[in-house]
A and B are shown apart, each in its own frame.
Chain A
Amino acid sequence: MTGSPETGRRVARVHELSLQVAIRSVQSEVSPVLGRITDWLGTHKINRNFVEEVELVTAEALNNVVEHAYLYAEDGEIRILVSLRPGKLQVQITDGGRKFDGPPPETKMDVEKFAFEELPEGGFGWNLIRSLTDEVAFERAGEKNRLTLTRRLPETAGAG
C-alpha cells in the first residue's frame, strides 16, 4: 500500500499499532520479552516466518545492548518499541548504556576461507540484522542510543 496520495489517505484511517516494553539489561530478560513481542505480532496476523525473523533481529540487537552498551551490568534499562504500520514493521531499541558509534560497516564474512582453528565463533550479529531488515538506522538521542530496525511487510499483513 504505497504510492499514490489516494492510497495514503485511505491507509491513514488505519491505526498505527504499537507495543512498548522495558526490560533490565539482563540476558535472562531477553527471551521473555521476545516471547511477548512474537505473541503480540501473532495476534495481529503477522506471518509466522516473518515473526521468527523479527524475533531473531531483535534478539541480536538486544544481545548487543546487554553485552556492548551495558557491558553485562544488570541495572541498565532497555526500552523496546515495536510498531506496525501499513506495509511496515519497526523495532526501536533505546538504551542508556555506553555510547555506540553506530553499526559497523557491512562486511562479507566468508567462513569457507577460514582455517578450521580460526573459524569465527561470533561477529555474526550485524550480518544477520542486515540480512533480515530493510533499513537499519542509529541515532544518539541525548544520552541514549537508539537503534531503529525497519522491515517491509507483505501487503496482506500488517495493521488493520
Chain B
Amino acid sequence: MFNPKYSATAPETALEIGKHMEVEVRNVDGITVVRLCGPRLDAAQSVRFKEALRDISDKGADHILLDMSKISFMDSSGLGAIVTVLKQMGQAKSLELAGLTPIVAKVFALTRMDKIFRLHDTVDAALCSCRKVAG
C-alpha cells in the first residue's frame, strides 16, 4: 500500500506481515530496498515473508535489495523462502541481499547459497555498486 504521507520525500510504506515481522519498503533510483524489521526469519514467518515479497514484486519492483541487518536469526525455512522469492521473480529481475548478521551469513555459507545470491556488506555499499554499474 502506497502511503501518500511520505510521497513528498522518499516513497515509503510499512507493511505488517505477522506478529513479529514487518517490512519497510523504499525506492532508491529504481532499486526497491526492502528492510525486514526482524528479528527473525524462520519457519513461523516464512509464509508471510513470501507473500509480502510477492506483493512487492507484483507491484512492479524489478530490482529488490533485501536489507537483512535486523534479522538476528534465520533457519533453513527462512533461507528456503528467500530462494522461493528469487525463483518467482525470475532471472530477468534481481534479488540481492545486504547487511547479513553473522549467523545469517553462516547459513548462507554452509548451504553454499552465498554462491547463488549477490550479498553486500551494507545497503549503502549495495546501492553504490548499483550506481557504478549504471554510470
A interface with B by C-beta (< 8 Å) = 27-28, 30-31, 34, 49, 52-53, 55-56, 59-60, 63, 66-67, 109-112, 116-117, 119-122, 124-125, 127-128, 131-132
**Contact pick for A127, options B20, B44, B111, CB 8 Å:** B111
B8 within 8 A of A: no
Q: How large, as a class, is the contact surface on chain B?
A: 20 to 34
* Smallest CB separation, A51 vs chain B (Å): 10
Please tell me if the beta carbons of A112 and B111 are within 8 angstroms of each other in the complex: no
Q: Using a Cβ cutoff of 8 Å, how many contacts connect chains A and B?
A: 81
B133 within 8 A of A: no
CB-defined contacts of A27 to chain B, threshold 8 Å: 43-44
Please tell me if the beta carbons of B87 and A116 are within 8 angstroms of each other in the complex: yes
CB-defined contacts of B91 to chain A, threshold 8 Å: 116
Max count, chain B CB within 10 A of own CB: residue among A27, A34, A66: A27
**Given A111-B116, A122-B76, A128:B110 Cβ within 8 A:** yes
Residue ID in chain A nearest B19 by CB atoms = A28
Q: Residue-by-residue, is B49-90 near A (CB-CB < 8 Å gives 1, otherwise 0)?
A: 000000000000000000000000101110111011011000
B103 within 8 A of A: yes
